Structure 1
Amino acid sequence: MDRAGDVREVQVSGVPTSFDESVVLLDVREDDEWQRGHAEGAIHIPMGQVPARMSEIDPNAKLFVVCHLGGRSMRVAGYLAQNGYAPINVAGGMQAWVDAGRPVITDGGGVGTV
């Protein structure tokens, strides 16, 4: 996946706090990272699976892409942009999410970590 120069990027403060069909937070971290903790309502597709699973991502949704620090998500966002999506990379990733005081949960609903 190549980085696209025209991908928008936003600080965590510009990311909504809840997600649904029209506003999606796509977490592209690996399974072990996701299991330690993620944003509530995010969808999880590890970076390497994105090309095969693009049909799971609504091209009409407002799409935020996140990883641990922002590098992998920028690459995925670039790939999605080249394929007709309008993704927005989350600067600083889940680390910035936590630093901003936003909650992180586990699949079981407990307090997660990044």
Structure 2
Amino acid sequence: MREITAKEVELLVNEGKELDIIDVREVDEVATGKIPNVVNIPLGLIEFRMHELDKSKEFIVVCRSGGRSGRATQFLESHGYKVINMQGGMLAWEGKTE
């Protein structure tokens, strides 16, 4: 499983890079603050909504601490998606939130 740090993601966001980020936290968790422009697909719905994701893109997966996003990353990888787990999740995120 490929991983990236929250700091590395923050630097890419600050450089204006077009990132495809999936937040697998529950809707109420995301309501407390999320990385700008993320797509929220709660972990329990990944299997049912993965058809919405473009297999030609690379996705960064985030959750609260990195555990659920790790599971989502492994699941999506096993189905042929290009995904990277953000280590430490939102607990490690120091960038802007919305």
* Both structures adopt the same fold (TM-score exceeding 0.5): yes
- Aligned pairs (5 A) from 1:1-114: 7-15=1-9, 16-17=12-13, 20=18, 23-97=19-93, 101-105=94-98
Matched residue SS, 1:76 = helix
Question: Which runs of structure 1 show a deviation greater than 4 angstroms over 4 or more consecutive aligned residues?
Answer: none
CA RMSD of aligned residues (A): 1.3
Distance 1:95 1:104 in 2: 12
**Alpha-carbon deviations, 1:42-64, whole Å to 9, x = none?**
00000000000011111111210
Matched residue SS, 2:71 = helix
- Higher CA-based Rg: 1
Alignment check: 8 A CA contact 2:58 2:81 kept = no
Deviates more, 1:65-74 or 1:11-20: 11-20
Aligned length: 94
Alignment check: 8 A CA contact 2:22 2:61 kept = yes
What is the aligned-residue identity percentage?
37
TM-score between both structures, scaled by the size of structure 2: 0.89
